[in-house]
Chains A and B, each alone.
Chain A
Amino acid sequence: MGRRTKIEEEDLIQLLTAKERRGIEILYDNYSAALYGVVHRIVGNDEIAEEVLQETFLKIWNNFGQYDSGKGRLFTWMVNICRNLSIDKVRSKEFVNQSKNQSIDNVVSLSDYKSSYNPDLIGVRDIVKKLEPEYRLIIDLLFFQGYSQSEAAEKLNIPLGTVKTRSRAAIQRLKNYFDPE
């Protein structure tokens, strides 16, 4: 993670809109680790995670015109892309065959936080640790793994209303940690 480039999000967006190669290079240097983290969390396998990461960057590059900065942040848009590609992969036949001994439930389980935390964000690690497990769980399912509210309720075996209040509280909590006012 040596070569992060300091750049304003707007400038990066301009480079990518103009299809400048430098734009995708900066994008890769700045975001590949975060996106790889998301992908790896879902597919749980180096080889497949690399494959999905490549598909993610190709899709970002080819479909950049679809990004609407008015609707949200660039990173959020990219996370959506890589999350959807990962989920498609996990549900594909190929993947199911490859990981016969490993149920999908295991792959997307939340027990495994072994992924090396980014040293740049070492302080964040402690913040994340402060978050109560039930909130971490809910953010993981909804945000990383793209579960719908009702899917999450089913998975956690709690009422839908609880999922709603808990997810709301989780983000508020997280927001206070990252950005105490």
Chain B
Amino acid sequence: MDIKEYINSGSVEMYIMGAMSSSEQDEFEQNLLLYPELKREYLKAQGTLNDYAQAHSLNPRPELRSKILDSISAENKSTTKKKVIKLRENPSLTYKYMVAACLAALVISTFASWFFYTKWDCAEDRYTALLNDKNQLAVNYNLVKMEFDRNSSDLMVMRDFESKVIQLNAIDSSRNYEARVYWNKNTREAYIDVLSLPVPPENQQYQLWALVSGKPVDAGIFDMGDDGIQKLKDIDKADAWAVTLEPKGGSITPTMNQMYLLGKNS
């Protein structure tokens, strides 16, 4: 390498001013060790900048001299002292760190316990709530299923081709009482569908009668309050139907003045 050329290329100035890339810097520092001439130029350039800095000197207050020099002496003493103390300080410092670490671990684990306990508690509550919901759903399902079963069997009766539908109307025409009888001649099954009747007193019940040539035959007692149709006694023959109010348990013969409904086979 021609070191003169290297110097003339401005390498020294660029290095001093930080204008070199890091690989150029490395190369320069290598050359500094190899070429005394380069080193001389380098020190000269530094000297130039130093002169420039000296040219901008500013005298500090005279009091500052003793203050700074004293602080250095004080620092001197305290550093020598520190070295002695350090030997004793180190283990206690380690101990302190260990205690701090333990405390930190304790705090973290306490927090974690509390956190997971809350989560668990919450999950437990939700589980119970879910269980209740599930039970409620099962109950609802059973209710709906029962209702459905009954409705569908009612519907079977009503839709049966062989079933006769007899409309029963109020004897007292000022009242809107009514009921329907479904009667299957082949199977002899009779059903009643109460559409509107007054609620009977505690000790009385309604009774259905099948009339055969004007003679009443007991077709069974029934209660109010149940939706849908009720199956009563099997009947062989009938040409008309009547409902009377009888003492609880029913009567052998109808109480004629307590007749509520009457209807003929169509």
Please report A residues at the B interface, Cβ cutoff 8 Å.
Answer: 1, 19, 21, 24-25, 28-29, 32-34, 36-38, 40-41, 46, 49-50, 53-54, 57-58, 61-62, 70, 72-73, 75-76, 79, 113, 115-118, 121, 124-125, 127-128, 138-139, 142-144, 148-149, 163-164, 167-172, 174-175, 178-179
Q: How far is the CA of A128 from the CA of B65 in the complex (A)?
A: 28
A46 → B minimal CB distance (Å): 8
Query: Is B16 part of the binding interface, using a Cβ–Cβ cutoff of 8 Å?
Result: yes
B263 → A minimal CB distance (Å): 103
Question: Are the C-beta atoms of B61 and A50 separated by less than 8 Å?
Answer: yes
Secondary structure of the A side of the interface?
A: helix
Question: Are the C-beta atoms of A36 and B58 separated by less than 8 Å?
Answer: yes
Q: How far is the CA of A33 from the CA of B54 in the complex (A)?
A: 8
Please report B residues at the A interface, Cβ cutoff 8 Å.
Answer: 10, 12-14, 16-19, 33, 42-61, 64-65, 67-69, 71-73, 75-76, 79
Question: Are the C-beta atoms of A75 and B55 separated by less than 8 Å?
Answer: no
Q: How far is the CA of A138 from the CA of B52 in the complex (A)?
A: 13
Q: How far is the CA of A175 from the CA of B54 in the complex (A)?
A: 14
Chain A positions within 8 Å of B46 at CB level: 72-73, 75-76
12 CB-based A-B contacts, threshold 8 Å: A24-B72, A32-B59, A32-B64, A53-B60, A58-B72, A73-B50, A75-B46, A76-B46, A117-B55, A121-B55, A172-B13, A179-B47
* A50 to B, closest residue via Cβ: B64
Q: How far is the CA of A121 from the CA of B155 in the complex (A)?
A: 123
A145 → B minimal CB distance (Å): 12
Question: Are the C-beta atoms of B14 and A168 separated by less than 8 Å?
Answer: yes
Chain A positions within 8 Å of B65 at CB level: 28-29, 32
Q: How far is the CA of A173 from the CA of B33 in the complex (A)?
A: 26
* Residue from B13, B45, B50, B58 in contact with A115 in the complex, judged by beta carbons closer than 8 Å: B58
State the 4 A-B residue pairs at the shortest beta-carbon distance, nearest first: A118-B57, A33-B57, A167-B17, A124-B55
Question: Are the C-beta atoms of A57 and B51 separated by less than 8 Å?
Answer: no
Question: Are the C-beta atoms of A21 and B10 separated by less than 8 Å?
Answer: no
